[in-house]
Structure 1
Amino acid sequence: MTNDTRSIRPFRIEVSDEAIADLHQRITLTRWPRDLGGTGWDRGIPTSYLRPLAEYWRDRFDWRKQEAHLNELPHYVTEVDAQQIHFVHVRSEVPGARPLLLLHGWPSSFVEFVDLIGPLTDPVAHGGKAEDAVHVVIPSLPGYGFSPLADAGWGDLLRVAGAMAEVMGRLGYERFLAHGTDVGSGIVGMLPMVAPGRIIATHVNGPSPFPLGPALPVDALPEGEQARAARFNTFRDDGAGYLHIQATRPQTVAYGLNDSPVAQLAWIVEKFREWTDPAAALPEDAVDIDRLLTTVSIFWFTQSGWSSAHALYEGMQVYRQFAAMADAAASGEGAEHAGDDGYAEADTAASGGWEAPPAPPAAASIFAADLSVRSVVDPASAFESWTEHDSGGHFPALEVPEILVADMRRFFDGHR
């Protein structure tokens, strides 16, 4: 750990007028496919939905307004092992506030957590207690947003976890809380390995079985888990195409994501339609459409489509290794005999396959759209708290921020 604040520099988001004009022109010049009669969302995002959304992005979405709003926050950058790390850092004014690291996933950005900053740093003004207050640090993961990918290898979640711990050290935070979603949850699970003794407690949302592993044996699971397990199997068979592509051929898909804003828009918006609250028919029914387009715009302006695909590729290699290690540990065999039967998450795999230091207290929040099957992802009941909700989805900080904040407050309150 290097408590070197001199290496931290203020940062400001500044997208050029030329980049915005280029975005608008590329949308205008899109060669649109037509929808086949009798088809809909089952074959991907329909042109009848995407084209009006792209035109809204071009004609009515106000990037400058969103940029100004984001620049009201204190942004910083630092370099760790030659990799630029961008982050938002907001200190609470409440004495004794604890630091909290918030880690996003794919396809997302630091913007996912913007609405949590007020309730977390100033809880009294948002229905909480002063002792709930935390300082928040919200990085852009390497390859995402304003942390442009420096080189290969930054999809390694252990390496990223080490960089996140280094950033917290440079800010003077010896011990801290951590919350993550999606890729961020995997990184949070690895923090105790790279920063032993420094993690007060961790919280994640929606831990899922290993998506590239085998189907779950639905009938063999407890009755209360069978519906989620069946949905996971459906996702594995029909909803993981994006993952197979990025986890195997990221450079091939990179050309479309880097050259066509409509391709980048479709790539992300489809996931917001499929992964948000099942009660929401369309993405804008689950999240604010301008907030969603802000995230897509950041992907576009920073060329994060291709770089996050490469980061995902590398991350999945690590997940495969940990899943195999967890399977070997569970079966009592050596790692060399581990097959493709492991589908535990990286944090579960790490605790099963490595001689890791004692894990800090951990909690999980499960929302309506999540594919979290506890007997699979947490067979040893390592989570001290497991809370299930009947609303929300993969992006709770955008969909149901008040529920997510309440869960974190309740769990973190008992761990200081």
Structure 2
Amino acid sequence: MNSKTHHAMTRRGFLAATMVGAAALSVPLGSTAKAGGAATAPATSAIRPFSFHASNADLVNLRSRILATKWPERETVEDASQGVNLATMKKLADYWAHHHDWSKTETGLNLWPNFITEIDGLDIHFIHVRSKHANALPVIITHGWPGSIIEQLKIIGPLTNPTAHGGTETDAFDVVIPSLPGYGFSGKPTATGWDPQRIARAWVELMRRLGYARYVAQGGDWGNAVTEQMALLKPAGLIGIHTNMPATIPDEIAKTLPDGPAPDGLPADELYAWKQLSFFYKHGLGYAQEMANRPQTLYALTDSPIGLAAWMLDHDDRSRDLITRVFDGAHEGLTRDDILDNITLYWLTNTAVSSARLYWESKLAFFQPKGIELPVGVSAFPDEIYTAPESWTRKAYPNLVHYNRLPKGGHFAAWEQPRLLTEELRATFHTLR
């Protein structure tokens, strides 16, 4: 990548995005996430209970659109080098139209305490589950793209009720899981400016509003970007962070990407990470370039459920390969229903384009170390976009309190490997309690 290309990418946030990138209240989506997410009442710090119920008409329309898909011809190669294979998408479409049950997912979501509160003029949705154990440590966990709060549902129980999931009372967390602006049940910004830094400030306000004077934060993908920005703010109360997608690439390594050659004498783990990054920069950035430069052009994603699904599946090669195996019948960390739960949430909330704008908004160099001084825990999963070597990680986070290279798992750690990620959070924050 020459300096001219680097400048062009950074100018519109492409480098940032791609180098990744009360009583029960039932509220219809239209009334909780109106254009811009602005509350109909004057600005308030009130926290309102929330639940979601998709209309039967919307579900019938979704199924009819899936069945009416206009399919292209099969790819002309025997691998996935041209994108998500036709056979995979047809298996996904068949299961989505005939077997997937959104009502089951919706019921599960509504069993958790869901809330909406207005912050900085925007409605922010979040799940908030308090542990029954005294002295539980509050944690705010942020999802990424193409994820959602669906990513973290499997870790709520183990974190809040550790004694039922192989832990002790001293492992207990209160859990806060917000939906990013423009994603899921949060409001959709109607003006520019909702970048990771602004979201970080909103998350700090959310934790203050919930009454937490001492807490930790966790995230991957955009969740890492927001969590790191929280750490840079050093708000009163934030005592440490954990990430499963850290920003650790040294400048001397970044200069050789994507075309190389790799620097001489790299240890095996650093060379492995270099090769992962080189491949991703060459082959995995098409979706991110479009979202970073022209998110509004993605009208097809709001009109075609299969178009939306294919776009989301092609986030990175290893996640796509995992999902392909799942629809071929393999038993993996994710199930077919897991995958379609997440895609259906995007569809029903019509957030394909509004979520993509975060790539346009961000000007961060995603994997560049940010100079974080707070205690940090890092979990390096082998099938992440890159598996951060311990040597790079210690340079990037001088106050590293935990590092572990995991045997299994990829980009959606909480979703794919909830037990492992739960253990990682317990280990990271044990000494900070």
Distance 1:377 1:244 in 2: 27
1:310 aligns with 2:325: no
| Deviating more after overlay: 184-193 vs 86-95 | 184-193
- Equivalent positions of 1:5-404 (< 5 A) are 7-208=46-247, 214-215=257-258, 218-220=262-264, 221-252=266-297, 254-271=298-315, 274-275=318-319, 281-282=325-326, 285-315=332-362, 317=363, 319-320=364-365, 344=368, 348-349=369-370, 351=372, 359-370=373-384, 371-374=386-389, 375-376=391-392, 379-382=395-398, 383-404=400-421
| Deviating more after overlay: 153-162 vs 201-210 | 201-210
For the 8 Å contact 1:276–1:395, the answer to whether it is kept is no
By how many angstroms is 1:277 displaced?
8.4
- SS of residue paired to 1:413: helix
Name the aligned partner's letter for residue 426 of structure 2.
Answer: R
For the 8 Å contact 1:273–1:281, the answer to whether it is kept is no
For the 8 Å contact 1:143–1:304, the answer to whether it is kept is yes
Name the aligned partner's letter for residue 387 of structure 2.
Answer: S
By how many angstroms is 1:212 displaced?
9.8
Q: How many residues align?
A: 379
For the 8 Å contact 2:143–2:151, the answer to whether it is kept is yes
Name the aligned partner's letter for residue 402 of structure 1.
Answer: R
Change (3 A) 1:263 1:402: same
Name the aligned partner's letter for residue 52 of structure 2.
Answer: I
By how many angstroms is 1:231 displaced?
1.4
Change (3 A) 1:92 1:5: farther
Measured against aligned partners, the alpha-carbon deviations of 1:362-412 in whole angstroms (never above 9, x if no partner) come to 011011112034455653442332211121101111111111111110111
By how many angstroms is 1:314 displaced?
0.8
- SS of residue paired to 1:102: strand
Greater relative contact order structure (CA < 8 Å, 6+ sep) = 2
By how many angstroms is 1:349 displaced?
2.5
CA RMSD of aligned residues (A): 2.4
Distance 1:314 1:152 in 2: 11
Distance 2:199 2:154 in 1: 24
Q: What is residue 328 of structure 1 aligned with on the other side? A: none
Q: What is residue 408 of structure 1 aligned with on the other side? A: 425
Measured against aligned partners, the alpha-carbon deviations of 1:85-142 in whole angstroms (never above 9, x if no partner) come to 1000000010111111011011100111111111101111111010110100000011
Task: State the identity as a percent.
Answer: 35
Change (3 A) 1:279 1:86: closer
For the 8 Å contact 2:292–2:360, the answer to whether it is kept is yes
Structure 1 gap ranges (5+): 324-342, 352-358
Change (3 A) 1:125 1:377: closer
Change (3 A) 1:30 1:380: closer
